[in-house]
Each structure stands twice: as C-alpha cells, then as structure tokens.
C-alpha cells in the first residue's frame, strides 16, 4: 500500500478521504510528517483511523496525532468525538485498558549543579519508596469502603488523607477527579485487582524520571510555568493499573451485547459501543470515571513518596526545594465537553486514547493559574532522549477538539524490542547517555529501549508546526525508574 491513499492537506496533515472505505461517516485526518507515513501504513494504524469513522454520531473527523501506532480499537494517538444529541456513542476501545494513564510534572527550585552528586542517591530513594514492576503492590490495602471513596474522589481523597496540598489539585486536570463516578457499577474483580495497587508505578512504559531543563523555546510562557534552563524536574507517568484494566475488560463484554441490542454496526468489533443515552453507556462512563479517579489518586500518592525521598536525601523539607505540581494531564479518557462544530456549539463525548488535552488561554475549564497562558501540555519521551512541555492553543480547539499528542509513540512491538535488546546491556547503554536506570525487571528495560520509540522531538515538531500545541521547554533525563 502506498502513501497515495492519503490526500495531502499540508506538510503536517494528511487525509484519509471519506470514500476510503464505504460507510465512513467522516474522513480521517492524521497529523504527521510525510516520512512518518510509511511506518503508519506498515503497522496498519491508519486502518484503525478509518474504522473509527464508522462510529455512530462521530463528528468532524477521525483524528490521529503523530505518535500514532496500532492499538486496541482506536489507535494510540487517536481522537474521536461523538455528538450525544445525534446518536453519539461511547466506546471503551476509544479509551483503552490503562484508563487515565497520564503524566504529572513536578518543578523544583534546584539546578543540576545543586544535586549533581546526589542524583543516584535520589533515584535509589525513589526506587525504594515507590513500588514498581508487574503486579507491584503497596502498603495501602484499601477496604471496600475506602476504595469507593478513592473511586469517587480521586486525588481529592489523597490530599484529604494527607498525601499532598490543595495547590496540587489546582494544577491537576479536572482538579483530580470526575464527579459522576459511580462505585456501584464496579465489579468485585476490579476491586480485587486494584485494592493494593494505589501508590504504585506499575510496568510497561510507565516511569518516574529526574530531569534537567535543557532548552527553553518560549521564555514568557516558561516563566509563567515556573520553568528555567538548568532546572531539576521530576516526571511521573502511570495510570489506573490493574483496576482500570479490569474496568475496561468488564465493559468490553457489555458493549459487545449492546451492539446487538441497539442494532449498531461497527467496522471493528474492538470498537464495540453503546449510545451515550443508554444504561450501558452511562454505566461505562461512570466506571471509567472511577478508574480515572483511581489514577489521579495514584499519581498524587506517588508525588507524596517522591517528596519524602527528596526530604530524606537532601535533609530538608520538600517545600524548601519546590517540588510543586506544574500540571497533571490524562492520556486515556473520554470527557463530556462543549465544542464548536459547523458553527454550532455541541456537547460531545471526546475520546482521547494516547492523546491529551491542549486547551487554550481563556478556556473555562482551566484553573485560574493557567487561564492567561493556556494549559501546560506534558509530553514524555523515551528514557534515553527527552521530554517536553508545550502549551495549548486555540487552533487545537478549532481542529482537534483541544487535543494534541501524548508521547513518542512506539515503532517496535515489545516482543521486537526484546529481540533487538537481548544482546545489549541496557543499563550500561543508558549510563553512556548520562542516564541512571533502576528497574524491577530486565525484561521491561528490553521492551523500553529508546529504539522502540519514535524520536519524540519529531513528534512535538509536528504538533508545534501544525499549531495544535506550542513548544515551551525541553527536559533531558538524568535518572529513571522503570517497572
């Protein structure tokens, strides 16, 4: 298959026309450089963009960001919105298994020179304090009643329990919880999987990283965000762990039955769905909100553990060295939002799977601290290269329902990466790049080698030049904990 299947809109936007597959309700639009298209075609993720265009109630286009790669149902990097007043549906395949996998960035008042000889001590302390790896558990074993409070209150619960400050919540998407979460729709199996995983990093591409700000692209916004060159930052990337995975698994079965019940046709059964205005749709959204809240509580508690690690190693209170939450953003979620479609304000269910909000200045959902600048957008890279902070734009609101990319995006499966890395000493390779690595599993390190990912610099270059997020700062990894 050649790149001729795409219609070029400009250097950073490529269209799959509506007639690419008979029955598509909208076109597909992929944000990418031309040289990225071969990989997209090779892994088949463009087909998932087209398949999503069959969803009932979909508006404008089936979208994909430049970190696009093949996923379950919707590709990772996919964004679709459905009109709830015109047959709009909700699909778990448009959110994924790791509900509210997201990223939190902590800023400090420290410079690299301040801690150059303490970085290894800091990452060792964090590795000791934050459980990581497959099936990792914490000392927080939740009773059913406590679990329900977490599902309802998210990061708000964590702060109420002493795991942070109110200011942390203001710097968290949705202030750390979705209010329509309903614990009554959660299965016992989901509870069992999540009851001792709160405050854990997990495995796969999840990580915790000490970084240094290497480059400032927009000084005015960087100043407003509290970022400066040479600054130490800490990035936390994790989600809802086994709890969210089980919520998704439970509702995939529900949605399979809903297809038949409501006479819905989908091109791909992995995009099984139900009308927003159905019991099945309402139950999934309520359960998804519980998992999203679990993830926000998880990142909040990990923030507490990071702060304690800094206190122990540096022998000072964490507030003395900053450790403020710059922002916390979700990557895998569905939100009810208002957007303009064909000149009319619509209430839409916006599915972002491996994509993140990029709301502009003045947006009413932003906290006051970012109302003038626009939303901080946090884009993690791989453990050997870089991560970025960007800022939301009005163009994102106009084109992508206020969305942009979420990371680098894989170019190798985990199995392929493991084969490539089997003769490598990954820890030593990272040390050569100036990165200290701690990991619960060598296998995870093999799966997460930098070569398994696109260069995140290319990805953010696309969204910056396309205008759906603007570059603010670049951070280089110094030390990382992998699961």
- Does residue 119 fall inside a structural domain? yes
Judged against a pLDDT cut of 90, whether residue 214 lies above it is answered with yes
- Does residue 202 fall inside a structural domain? yes
- Does residue 45 fall inside a structural domain? no
- Does residue 12 fall inside a structural domain? no
With CA atoms as reference, report the closest residue to 274 among 84, 18, 24: 84
Q: What is the pLDDT of residues 107-132, one digit of tens each?
A: 999 999 999 999 999 999 999 999 88
Grouping H, G, I as helix, E, B as strand and the rest as coil, residue 267 is: coil
Cβ(126)–Cβ(208) below 8 Å: yes
Dist CA 199 CA 148 (whole Å): 16
Average pLDDT, the chain: 95
Q: Give the pairing of strands 344-353 and 387-391.
A: unpaired
- What pLDDT score does 441 carry? 81
Q: What is the pLDDT of residues 72-89, one digit of tens each?
A: 999 999 999 999 999 999
Dist CA 408 CA 374 (whole Å): 22
Count: domains in the chain: 1
Which CATH number belongs to the domain containing residue 106 in this structure? 3.90.1860.10
- Does residue 224 fall inside a structural domain? yes
- What pLDDT score does 443 carry? 82
Dist CA 38 CA 6 (whole Å): 11
> Using CB atoms within 10 A of its CB, is residue 383 exposed (0-12), middle (13-18) or buried (19+)?
buried
Q: pLDDT category, 1, cuts 50, 70, 90?
A: low
Q: Which residue has the higher pLDDT, 447 or 471?
A: 471
- Does residue 303 fall inside a structural domain? yes
With CA atoms as reference, report the closest residue to 198 among 129, 124, 147: 147
Mean pLDDT, residues 199-216 taken together? 94
- What pLDDT score does 422 carry? 80
- What pLDDT score does 419 carry? 86
- What pLDDT score does 152 carry? 98
Q: What is the pLDDT of residues 388-434, one digit of tens each?
A: 999 999 999 999 999 999 998 888 888 888 888 887 888 888 899 99
CA distances from 356 to 77, 248, 438, 446, 469 (A): 9, 19, 28, 27, 11
- What pLDDT score does 223 carry? 98
Cβ(93)–Cβ(285) below 8 Å: no
User: CA angle 448-452-458, nearest 5°?
Assistant: 120
Judged against a pLDDT cut of 90, whether residue 24 lies above it is answered with yes
- Does residue 216 fall inside a structural domain? yes
Q: What is the pLDDT of residues 268-305, one digit of tens each?
A: 999 999 999 999 999 999 999 999 999 999 999 999 99
- What pLDDT score does 255 carry? 98
Cβ(350)–Cβ(403) below 8 Å: yes
> Residues of the chain with pLDDT > 90: what percent?
86
Domain residues for 430?
Answer: 102-239+297-328+374-482
- What pLDDT score does 446 carry? 85
Mean pLDDT is lowest, of 56-70, 220-234, 330-344, 414-428, for 414-428
Mean pLDDT, residues 330-353 taken together? 97
Mean pLDDT, residues 158-167 taken together? 97
- Does residue 289 fall inside a structural domain? no
- What pLDDT score does 459 carry? 96
With CA atoms as reference, report the closest residue to 376 among 387, 392, 362: 392
Catalytic residues: 406
Question: How much helix, strand and coil, in percent to the nearest 5, is found in the chain?
Answer: 40, 25, 35
Dist CA 444 CA 427 (whole Å): 12
Q: What is the pLDDT of residues 295-315, one digit of tens each?
A: 999 999 999 999 999 999 999
Q: Which residues pair with 345 in a beta bridge?
A: 340
């Amino acid at each position: 298959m050649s790149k001729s299947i795409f219609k070029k809109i400009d250097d950073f936007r490529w269209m799959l026309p509506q007639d690419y597959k008979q029955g598509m309700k909208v076109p597909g639009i992929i944000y990418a450089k031309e040289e990225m298209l071969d990989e997209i075609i090779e892994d088949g993720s463009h087909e998932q963009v087209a398949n999503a265009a069959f969803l009932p109630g979909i508006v404008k286009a089936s979208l994909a960001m430049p970190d696009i790669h093949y996923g379950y149902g919707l590709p990772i990097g996919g964004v679709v919105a459905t009109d709830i007043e015109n047959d709009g549906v909700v699909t778990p395949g448009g959110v994924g298994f790791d509900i509210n996998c997201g990223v939190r960035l902590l800023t400090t008042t420290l410079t690299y020179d301040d801690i150059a000889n303490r970085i290894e001590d800091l990452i060792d302390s964090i590795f000791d304090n934050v459980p990581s790896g497959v099936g990792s558990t914490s000392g927080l074993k939740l009773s059913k009643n406590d679990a329900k409070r977490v599902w309802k209150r998210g990061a708000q619960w964590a702060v109420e329990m002493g795991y942070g400050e109110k200011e942390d919540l203001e710097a968290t998407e949705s202030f750390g919880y979705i209010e329509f979460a309903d614990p009554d729709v959660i299965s016992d199996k989901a509870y069992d999987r999540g009851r001792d995983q709160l405050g854990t990093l997990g495995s796969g591409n999840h990580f915790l990283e000490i970084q240094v700000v290497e480059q400032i692209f927009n000084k005015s916004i960087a100043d407003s965000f509290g970022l400066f060159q040479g600054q130490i930052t800490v990035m936390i990337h994790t989600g809802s762990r086994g709890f969210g995975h089980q919520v998704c698994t439970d509702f995939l079965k529900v949605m399979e039955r809903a297809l038949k019940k409501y006479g819905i046709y989908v091109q791909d059964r992995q995009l099984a769905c139900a009308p927003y205005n159905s019991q099945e749709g309402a139950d999934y959204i309520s359960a998804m909100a519980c998992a999203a809240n679990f993830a926000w509580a998880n990142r909040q508690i990990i923030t507490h553990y990071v702060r304690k690690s800094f206190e122990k190693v540096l022998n000072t209170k964490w507030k003395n060295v900053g450790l403020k939450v710059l922002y916390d953003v979700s990557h895998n979620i569905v939100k009810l939002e208002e957007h303009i479609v064909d000149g009319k304000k619509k209430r839409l269910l916006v599915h972002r799977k491996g994509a993140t909000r990029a709301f502009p200045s003045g947006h009413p959902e932003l906290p006051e601290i970012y109302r003038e600048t626009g939303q901080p957008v946090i884009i993690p890279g791989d453990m050997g290269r870089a991560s970025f902070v960007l800022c939301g734009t009005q163009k994102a609101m106009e084109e992508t329902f206020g969305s942009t990319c979420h990371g680098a995006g894989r170019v190798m499966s985990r199995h392929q990466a493991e084969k490539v890395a089997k003769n490598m000493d990954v820890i030593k390779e990272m040390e050569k790049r100036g990165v200290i690595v701690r990991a619960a599993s060598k296998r995870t390190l093999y799966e997460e080698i930098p070569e398994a990912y696109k260069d995140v610099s290319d990805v953010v270059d696309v969204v910056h030049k396309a205008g759906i997020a603007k570059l603010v700062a670049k951070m280089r990894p110094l030390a990382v904990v992998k699961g």
